[in-house]
Homo-oligomer: A and B are copies of this chain.
Amino acid sequence: MSPRTPAPAAAGARRLTHHAGRPPRLRFGGDYNPEQWDPSVWPQDARLMREAGVDLVTVGVFSWAQLEPSPGERNFGWLDRVLDLLGEHGVDVDLATPTASPPPWLGHRFPETLPVDADGRTLTYGSRNQFCPCSPRYREAALAITTDLAERYHDHPAVVMWHVGNELGQWCHCDLAAAGFRTWLQRRHGDLDGLNAAWGTAFWSQRYDDWDEVIPPRAAPYLHNPAQSLDFRRFRSDALRDLFRAERDAIRARTDAPVTTNFMGFFHHVDYWSFAGEVDVVADDHYVDPADARSPARAALTHDLVRSLGGGEPWVLMEQAAGAVNWRPHNVPKPAGAMQLDSLRAVARGADAVCFFQWRQSRAGAERFHSAMLPHAGPDTRLHAEVRELGAALQRLGRVAGARVDARVALLHDWPSWWACEEPARPSDRLRVLDVLLSHYEPLFARGVAVDVLGPACDLDGYDLLVLPNLYLLEHDLAERLQRFVTGGGTLLVGPFSGVADADARIREGRFPALLRDLLGASGEEWVPLAAPSACTSAQFGDFHVDTWAERLRSDGAQVLAEHAAGDLAGVPAVTRRAVGSGSAWYCSVLLPPAVLSQVLGRCLDEAGVGGALPGPPPPGVEVVRRGDVLFVLNPGEEEVHLALPGRHTDLLTGDTLDGATVLAPRRGLALVEETQ
């Protein structure tokens, strides 16, 4: 079983890891920015890379001003030398288009390329990302340099992958963006009547009489129209995808190497479900926060999303930090072992390449305090020693390259729903989509259950348990597929504030969740943000309190598994379950405390007949996931754990044989293959 995206990424990763005549390998490396260093440093870099096992570096992400020092000029010589040098040392290159950061001359000569924020403030150069994706002048310059790069290096032997821009996420409210927005809206809504209906402009006298009146949501006296905001978010995401496509196509016209860009997991501003089908391999940047106790689950959830975006195909961890980052207020570095553990987590969840930002730590610029594989203090450091250990470890894991993670449980996450749900002036800003998603993931993660993360258009076949922690926007097509999923024997769990609105964020009238109430056998009439914790009682799950959120619900035939016990909601159901043949449909109208939510999900897993990667529950905090025939066991905690394992295994990382039980040190992982008798 596997997730099926609407447009699954082609198996670009395979072209990185599998080559005729040699065993499959995982890739290892990072961003390399040679332009920041004197050329005399480059040979040392190449040698140190080889010694560390680095075989893939991303070059050129921020090189535009070096490649095109003045308008139309081309300065490729230094890049020729770098690519040749890397190739000579066996280091392959992911060659980037430099379009994320135009040179100062572009903004200076063509101010219309600069982005404008919602307050009308022009953002200038001297940082990065200072462009409007809708500016023809910017696009012209970006495509010209991209084309020339592709033309020059399409057959360079070191270049094995292409990388468009960087962390695409810009936005702009300028008049060029407004024009682009109008064109997009015309495609979506047809005519102004369609727009006015979709946006509900009869409210607050917002009816548009002429297309020229339509603008992005700019600074206004009070709340914006939420449908306008939602469409502008969709447009922005699409505009960035279009920009990616344009650069990608310029490259594809000249080479067959896979083309990608680096995603950012649950990045709010881009709908990766609409984007993932455009890349040849999904790549992601992920920065674990060592100070956050929930970061292992957050990282695992994100990796599961990223793998799912690519239809279950292997993906590239394009950026992570070797130590501390620089952009949090207080940047805690990684303790010993964490770099490898974080990397193994990604590999266990489908990554075939483990890369870092960046190879050599910058001396200057805004990211001088972002750690790198080669720190300021040089190679004779604990951090760099760990880099070398990691390189060696990855070489022992070539066996998993190309392998998939099979999941029978899926969580659903949809960007437009997230956007619409968190528009201002909602019932409660304490109900946060990602928090609700993570809280539903954690009990599965703790049990070692493999999970895919699906978009609303993904195929549901092959899953036994489907969880919708919160799906504010729900369209008919998905509602019907959910119905079929349950009648086909699946177990469905729906969380609060779901099925509220249609694709234009208009509330669906009648009892909620509008398109699911028949399936669930329960329906509500009022959302109830709580002023104080509300006592609940359940024969199944015991007594507990819920916080933040409840709903005035009634059962229309479903079994009530928990209900409010006091106050204005006394007797109102909180958790319901409706059996549908061999399937079942659960509804949870409250934000359950973690222990209760874990029980509920445990019941759902039992009903669905799904278990974890180990026969029993893993020790607390231990992560287990099976990829291909390798069982990964990770201990991200500060204490050693005792682990019981059925059968005899070989640990690929150490070569040790484990017979039945073992002790796992803090921040250490195992990559186990069962020994055949």
Contacts and interface: CB of A to CB of B under 8 A. Distances in A.
Contact of A427 (B129, B201, B225, B331): B331
A632 interface: no
A224 interface: yes
A504 to B, nearest CB: 7
B425 A364 contact: no
Main secondary structure of the interface of A (DSSP, over half): loop
Given A365-B225, A427-B326, A568-B336, A108 B212 contact: yes
A36 B202 contact: yes
Interface string A202-217: 1111111110111101
B377 A126 contact: no
Contacts of A367: 203, 223, 425
Interface in A348-399: 361-369, 371, 375-378, 381-383
A619 interface: no
A205 to B, nearest CB: 4
A191 to B, nearest CB: 14
A430 B209 contact: no
Contacts of A645: none
Given A203-B36, A568-B335, A427 B376 contact: no
A267 interface: no
B128 A221 contact: yes
Contacts of A488: none
Contacts of A147: none
Interface stretch (A248-256, A296-304, A409-417, A507-515): A507-515
A66 B366 contact: no
Given A69-B209, A367-B203, A427-B369, A123 B220 contact: yes
A77 interface: no
Given A205-B102, A366-B222, A366-B224, A215 B65 contact: no
Contact of A203 (B323, B324, B330, B362): B362
Contact of A324 (B123, B335, B529): B529
B98 A205 contact: yes
B104 A526 contact: no
B326 A365 contact: no
Interface in A59-82: 62-66, 69-70
Contacts of A108: 210, 212-213
A366 B331 CA distance: 38
Interface string A99-131: 001111100100000010101111111111110
A214 B510 CA distance: 56
Contact of A430 (B119, B222, B330, B336): B330
A204 B124 contact: no
Nearest to A36: B202
A526 to B, nearest CB: 6
Interface in A402-437: 424-430
B363 A200 contact: yes
A5 interface: no
Interface in A603-651: none
Contacts of A212: 108
A376 B212 CA distance: 33
Contact of A221 (B127, B218, B362, B531): B127
B329 A369 contact: no
A23 interface: no
A323 B205 contact: no
Contacts of A210: 70, 105, 108
A105 to B, nearest CB: 5
A424 to B, nearest CB: 8
Interface in A511-562: 511-512, 524-531, 548, 552
A128 B531 contact: no
A202 B121 contact: no
Contacts of A365: 200, 203-204, 206, 225-226
A209 B70 contact: yes
A103 B366 contact: no
A227 B424 CA distance: 36
Interface centre among A105, A291, A369 (most CB of B within 10 A): A369
10 contacts: A36-B202, A98-B205, A101-B204, A120-B122, A123-B221, A125-B206, A203-B366, A324-B527, A329-B429, A383-B525
Instruction: List the 8 shortest-distance A-B pairs measured between CB atoms, nearest first.
Output: A200-B364, A203-B365, A127-B220, A223-B366, A335-B568, A377-B525, A65-B207, A101-B205
